[in-house]
Amino acid sequence: MSYSYFVAELQCPGCGTSTESTVMTKVESDPGTVIRVGDPLDVTVIDMKYSHYTLRVPEPGEPLRILESWSCPACGRPGWIEIVVDDGHVRSIDVVPFDTATLDRVNFVADQLAEFYEEKAGEPLYVGDEVRPDWMERLRQHLARPGTP
């Protein structure tokens, strides 16, 4: 699998440091591509299904929302960034909490979902070789509600 990189000015919700950060991604593109806000990103739902967990397929005309894991380069705090792709271009790259509102909004989540799920739910995302069929509901039970810590 080849990797590309999302690059954006991101502010850590923990320490408040704002810095240009690079986040590795498996989003389909030319290997080594650096992707910033405003850049073209020709990625399809099929591409995303190969490289990320699918939460829900976007409706026609709806922006594609990708969740990638991120760590603050200043304090090391783990977190998540949301990348919005609309009309073939990256419209935004922002730090977001992984809460119920985010779970409801995003379409695809990076591989780190498995570790995050296990940390939150206290059980593996997989049962044998299969993803738990009810994993989203089980995760939702353990996520913070928007506006709560």
Quote the strand ranges of 1-149, DSSP E: 4-11, 18-25, 34-35, 53-54, 64-71, 78-86, 89-96, 108-109, 126-127, 130-131
pLDDT of residue 54: 95
The per-residue pLDDT for 145 is: 61
Question: Is residue 31 predicted with pLDDT exceeding 60?
Answer: yes
H-helix or E-strand spanning residue 105: helix 100-105
Residue 64, burial from CB neighbour count under 10 angstroms (0-12, 13-18, 19+):
buried
Pick the closest to residue 21 from 97, 92, 95 (CA basis): 95
Q: Cβ of 105: how many Cβ atoms within 10 Å?
A: 16
Q: Do the domain assignments include residue 147?
A: no
Q: What is the mean pLDDT of residues 38-65?
A: 93
The domain in which residue 43 lies consists of 4-140
Domain count of the chain? 1
- Position 98 in a domain: yes
**Nearest of 65, 52, 70, 89 to residue 9 by alpha carbon:** 70
> Does 28 or 136 have the greater pLDDT score?
136
Residue 42 — very low, low, confident or very high, per pLDDT cuts 50/70/90? confident
Task: Using pLDDT thresholds of 50, 70 and 90, give the confidence band for residue 60.
Answer: very high
| Nearest alpha carbon to residue 43 among 59, 62, 54, 27 | 27
Q: Please give the Cα distance from 117 to 136 (Å, whole number).
A: 9
The yes-or-no verdict on residue 123 having pLDDT over 60 is yes
Amino acid at 45: V
Task: Determine, yes or no, domain membership for 82.
Answer: yes
pLDDT-derived band at 133, boundaries 50, 70, 90: very high
The answer to whether position 119 is within a domain reads yes
At 9 the three-state DSSP class reads strand
Task: Please state, rounded to an integer, the average pLDDT across all residues of the chain.
Answer: 92
Residue at token pair 């000015």: 9
Residue 146 lies in a domain: no
Residue 136 belongs to some domain of the structure: yes
Q: Looking at the domain assignment, is residue 10 inside a domain?
A: yes
